[in-house]
Structure 1
Amino acid sequence: MFDLSNRLVTLRKKERKTQQDVAHYVGVSTAAVSKWETNQSYPDLSVLPKLATYFNCSIDDLLGYEPQMSKEHIQQLYMRLANDFQQKPFDEVYAEIQNIIKEYYACFPLLMQISVLLLNYTQLAGERTKEILSLAESLCIRIQQQSSDLRLLQLCRSLQAQIALIKNEPQQVIALFGEEVEAYAGNDLVLASAYLQLQQGDKAEETYQISLFQKIVSNVFILANYLQMQLQDEERFQETVERGFGLIRLFQLDTLHINSCISMYIGAAQGYTIQGRMDAAFEALQRYLHVIEQTPFPITLHGDDYFNKVDEWLLRELDLGQTMPRDEASLRQSLLDIVEKNPMFEPLKQDARYQVLVSNLTHMLGVNA
């Protein structure tokens, strides 16, 4: 939004100039300047450069126009829109998002988070799902074409791949990432060593911690997804489960990173159900229930006593900081739905243990089954 009238008043008073001074410099009447400052009229476009020169500012600053949004503002806007999706009609929130995109079309961190937001709430889009995915994809393409931020470009490519999977376009994913897994280069270790040579021990420790934290969490997610490849081999499936559970236990991920634990426990429970190993399925679901029971809401990304550098890094590096990318109400509902509405658990639903588990989960989350 433009705020020329207030900006003119502010700049003029800051420079201790009168309306007559401004009028004389730009070649208009004092009455014209008065009308600009009271929002009764606007200066001609040819006058704007003269005004900007007079006040030694950019035209954007003169107009009160901010094409970029701060990280804090992006976080606040994201969470407000996420909450609006739960409380207002989808089309109303979507219309506001479209206006925000037009106003901040050059603010690439914001466009990135808008893409994430749209992806997280496509389940509400109904018949407009294809349109929503296309918009999110187009924003990613714009970022790739216009931004020089390497971190943002990497995140953008990952998001594009997720969109391609939702659209059932696996070949697009391969085109984005290539056909082979890249060899681990160890850049994080080299960077930490560089900090040590510079005698910047804190930065070296942070680099080691962040690298370790991300790789452990990533490996649990990988193991959870790898389970689906082992369904026909119960012995290998069991070994994969034990390794995943072992990582969770070793690094106390039950309290450190709930999402990775959910992925592992639900993946294990689904696999056991398919294999007909119902007792093991319920044991995995009980682990899931235990995670929910001890998780404080609202859920945040965070470190712990061991990973004591993670919190500061999250706040500094992530556009959403420690905030989860979904509002609390829909997150609570999804934590119930992943069990209660999961078609993979259909064989369990006549078992009293399942009914008790869903009842307990519903109570813990404070939502309706």
Structure 2
Amino acid sequence: KRNNDQILSPVGNSLTVATNIKRKKSESETEANPTKYRQGTLTYFDKVNPIVYLQLLPDSVSTMERINELIDNAVQENKHNSSYEIGDHIIAQFTDDESYYRARIESYSDSTKTYAVYFLDYGNLDENVPVDHLFSYPDELKQIEAQTYKYSLENQTSQTWRKSVLPLIEEKQNETIDFYFINENQSIIRIKFSENDSHIYNNQPRTLNANISGTNKDCFYIHILPDSDTLICEMCELLETYKGEHQTSNQWNLNDLCIVFDNEQEKYFRGKILSINNENYDVQCIDYGNILVNKTNDDIYLLNNDELLKQSPLAQKCRLYGVKEENQKKAIEEVIKNITPTENVTITVQNDQDDSCMLVMLFRNNNEIVNDLYQSDNDNQ
């Protein structure tokens, strides 16, 4: 397991990885630093987020040769189905170069009668492939694992990625690159761009002390310490004083701000109307993040006080950095929702360009990193 110091220190963390992960030395590792660097072919990259797709060298070379032989044979046989299901593995002709590659059906458009496919050995999508450009999949191909692996680049936000790193990455597409793994489950890497490229990775994340204040299905909320303690106390006093009147003349509308009473806690909270079902309302407690469901007008009050209206929400929305969507939900259900509001946690902010949500690493008191529990080795299967 990694700890907070390892996350924040690229040099220390890479040494930990080099000494603790036991594996056979690849022929591709450079003689100058055989315990650190590997090589791969950069097949694809995300233009918005710091994500790259690599074929690992030299392992993929002979495998790709065999894959291409099988693809050529399958195309010559010219076997097609009349239609395909989402998730089917097929051979697809890529629109841009008219070559054939292994792929997986991602979606189908009724309007254009075309399929969107994901290329298993490269990482990119083609969203407009007609059915006659799809071929049946030989059994031997089914036994060969996808040859591209998805990695996040170390210490990059979406902004630094687009402004500083993307131009360098674009020059290296389909080229061999040197890289090494930053974390133990080998999902985050550092690419070598030059001998003096340390400035690219010096985007140290902000570190915050916090409490978990609430959870939803795919995100969680924090109170940043120590400031939020005082602000929460002040807010409670104001709400008791200015809880106001019930809505009488008109019904509540979506996104209306209000004061809501929680019967279980016997407390008042600032709220926002999220959904309306007849005379029942789902209300989010904006200073905590949790949602109170099926509230009636008896529990909802007008929010008329200027001081309460102007105060920004005290809960900050977060998602786990480097964790897939389905695993976000598992992490929240299995771990995060069970972290008590009194437990202090450490947050490192990896990307807060979107003010509405921070992508974070979440550390508990025992230095357990919640992200590491829910990161897959790769995202291409």
For this structure pair, what is the TM-score category when the shorter chain's length is used for normalisation?
under 0.3
The structure where helix makes up a greater share of residues is: 1
So what's the TM-score if we normalise by structure 1? 0.19
Name which structure has the greater RCO, CA cutoff 8 Å, separation 6+.
2
The structure where strand makes up a greater share of residues is: 2
So what's the TM-score if we normalise by structure 2? 0.18
